[in-house]
Amino acid sequence: MTHGISMAGYMFVNPGEEILVPSLFWGNYNLSFINAYDAKIKPYNLFKGEGLDVAAMGAELMSEGDKKILLLNFPNNPTGYSPDVREMKEIISAVEQAAKAGKKIVVICDDAYFGLVFEEGIEAQSPFAWLANLHENVLAVKVDGPTKEDYVWGFRVGFMTYGIKGGTEALYTALENKTAGAIRGSISNTSNLSQSLLLEAFDSPTYQEEKKEKFNILKSRYEAVKQAMKNPDYAEFFKAKPYNSGYFMCIELKDGLDADVVRRLLIEKYSIGTISLNNLLRIAFSAVAVKDILALFDGIYSACKELTV
Amino acid sequence: MTHGISMAGYMFVNPGEEILVPSLFWGNYNLSFINAYDAKIKPYNLFKGEGLDVAAMGAELMSEGDKKILLLNFPNNPTGYSPDVREMKEIISAVEQAAKAGKKIVVICDDAYFGLVFEEGIEAQSPFAWLANLHENVLAVKVDGPTKEDYVWGFRVGFMTYGIKGGTEALYTALENKTAGAIRGSISNTSNLSQSLLLEAFDSPTYQEEKKEKFNILKSRYEAVKQAMKNPDYAEFFKAKPYNSGYFMCIELKDGLDADVVRRLLIEKYSIGTISLNNLLRIAFSAVAVKDILALFDGIYSACKELTV
């Protein structure tokens, strides 16, 4: 995945160019884009109320300049949010409008957590499915990997897929060759062991079943989080940002609580590991057994209380 | 390895800067340095007669400009040449003179084929061993990997090691952190499978013995090449560039023979695969069984004859 993001940067980002990323984003984008390619990161506001602020994203696409690089990340890291079907249509419509207005848009779909959608009504497809044939001015780039989709942490395999309306064989061949050259010049190739094992796994008759088992484990953790968050006491100190998918969810701390102070108290006294982002704590519920999830949130509650008294 | 070279570029090469590489060099340096980091490649003459042209390398080090990036690659790809002990001392002395003259020198040691030395009197150590503590102005960077050293093609694991005279813990920590950030932003990490298997292998009581067996296979192929090249008829069409180590050797074709035309005839009519580089053919004897090596050179001889008549 990381290497796919890095290669997308290599392919499409010139020094000084802006990449539109959601305002809550994976910190590694800083390393992959800013440090490696001298790009600028321009955040668009992710949430408005309980849903996406699609208008903010659209406004950035329509801002000055002909070339736009948009990054979409669903399920989002850190928030674990994916658009519902209506929101997805709004996103696609905003991209289409900008394309019709003459903007040349590269949309990088970071699909690291693809498939981990836990609610009805949430769009289960990648935006890539909508964008690949949308408009001649829209080049859709899908970056995904088996790390989370297939639960093979440490395999370090990734995929890049391109789609553009009216794309010719010559164009796709050029994209493929340039991508292959970029890979050849940076890592030569991906681990052959990992690739071989994955190919075998994809062909296994029990692949879908084994994958479903793992999905159900994650879904049960997600459900446990939702159940825990029903506790009305928590509202005194924190509330959830919208979440419905992926590996994570975030809680927003009340004014007066410093997320990094809370984080440190949590790890030192409660042995609870979180990541702090401004006034948010990111909770990796994917890594917490169902039986421990209530204790996790109760611990956060206690730490907040301790720091408030 | 490739990623190590790429990371060395990320760490030390600014856009437009020159990297001094041997005049016979691995083509992938173009992708890793020029395409990825907008560097320039400045070749220094590799051979003079039957040995290295150390004076040419030294002159480049002493040329205008305070910062020099020197790439050393022994055993060399494509020629399969490593310096003898006297030549290694000359190389080190040239670097030291430039350092004493005030040049700040980063020396990247591409040690992809480290350990595959087949003759007595050839320096078996990496230049890194000589450079790591040579002078305050010389930062030695060793890049190596198990692909060829341990015969694990496809594992995709690499190592980077830094050495500088008087290097403090703070300096090495800074180098380590910056390298780790560069890796994190480009590939996140190396395949965990490959790393784990290698660690197990290094701890195996039969590791040295198994490695020696593989080395002996390669050495027997090298000896067969030397034996085959004794045929005086070959001199009519080609002669060997200096070689004594590594995976490859090169033959230089006589004037009037086009190496790429010979290459194509060889693959089409003789099923012999080589790589053409100007007027040279690179022979990967590492991949040819001892019993086939005579037929390989006889095939090249026949192809050359066919094209000359």
Q: What is the pLDDT of residue A309?
A: 76
Residues contacting residue B223 through CB under 8 Å, at least 6 positions apart: B118
Q: Is A9 exposed, middle or buried (0-12, 13-18, 19+ CB in 10 A)?
A: buried
User: Which among A36, A154, A193 has the least Cβ separation from residue B186?
Assistant: A36
Place of tokens 């940067």: A9
Structure tokens at A92: 């696609």
Would you call A175 exposed, middle or buried from its count of C-beta atoms within 10 A (0-12, 13-18, 19+)? middle
ipTM of the complex: 0.89
Q: Give pLDDT, residue B7.
A: 94
Confidence of residue B11 (pLDDT cuts 50, 70, 90): very high
pLDDT in tens, chain A (309 residues): 899 999 999 999 999 999 999 999 999 999 989 888 999 999 999 999 999 999 999 999 999 999 999 999 999 999 999 999 999 999 999 999 999 999 999 999 999 999 999 999 999 999 999 999 999 999 999 999 999 999 999 999 999 999 999 999 999 999 999 999 999 999 999 999 999 999 999 999 999 999 999 999 999 999 999 999 999 999 999 999 999 999 999 999 999 999 999 999 999 999 999 999 999 999 999 999 999 999 999 999 999 999 997
Q: Do B191 and A156 touch (CB under 8 A)?
A: yes
- Quick one: DSSP state of residue A191? -
Which chain A residues touch B191 with a CB distance below 8 Å?
154-156, 190-191, 193-194
pLDDT per residue as tens digits for the range B144-168: 999 999 999 999 999 999 999 999 9
Radius of gyration of chain B (CA): 20
Closest-CA distance of chain B to residue A304, Å: 32
Query: Judging by DSSP bridges, how do beta strands A249-253 and A238-240 pair with one another?
Result: antiparallel
Per-residue pLDDT, A73: 97
Q: Tell me the percentage of chain B whose pLDDT exceeds 90.
A: 97
pLDDT of residue A1: 87
* Mutation site, A193, A195, A197, A200, interface B, largest B CB count within 10 A: A193
For tokens 């190919």, name the residue: A199
Question: Is B222 an 8 Å CB contact of chain A?
Answer: no
Q: Identify the structural domains of chain A with CATH numbers, from first to last.
A: 2-199 (3.40.640.10), 207-308 (3.90.1150.10)
Model confidence band, residue B309 (pLDDT cutoffs 50, 70, 90) = confident
Q: Which residues of A touch B10 (CB under 8 A)?
A: 36
pLDDT at B254: 97
Facing residues of B41 across strands?
B19
Q: How far is CA A275 from the centre of its chain?
A: 16
Optimal mutation site among B25, B26, B191, B196, interface A, most CBs of chain A within 10 A: B191
Q: With pLDDT > 90 as the criterion, what percentage of chain A qualifies?
A: 97
- In chain B, whose CA is at the least distance from the CA of A3? B187
Mean pLDDT for chain B overall: 96
* pLDDT tens by residue, A58-91: 999 999 999 999 999 999 999 999 999 999 999 9
What string of H, E and C letters represents the secondary structure of chain B?
CHHHHHHHHHHHCCCCCEEEEECCCCCHHHHHHHHHHCCEEEEECCEECCEECHHHHHHHHCCCCCEEEEEEECCCCCCCCCCEHHHHHHHHHHHHHHHHCCCEEEEEEECCCCCCECCCCECCCCHHHHHCCCCCCEEEEEEECHHHHCCCCCCCCCEEEEEECCCCHHHHHHHHHHHHHHHHHHCCCCCHHHHHHHHHHHHCCCHHHHHHHHHHHHHHHHHHHHHHCCCHHHHHCEEECCCCECCCEEEEECCCCCHHHHHHHHHHHCCCCCEEECCEEEECHHHCCHHHHHHHHHHHHHHHHHHHC
List the one residue out of A131, A58, A70 whose CA is nearest residue A101. Answer: A58
Residue of A26, A38, A156, A190 for testing the chain B interface, max B β-carbons within 10 Å: A156
Nearest residue on chain A to B180, judged by CA atoms? A31
In sequence order, the β-bridge partners of residue A18 are A40
Nearest CA in chain A to B3: A187
Q: pLDDT grade, residue B1 (50/70/90)?
A: confident
Span B247-269, mean pLDDT? 97
Of B28, B185, B191, the CB nearest to A154: B191
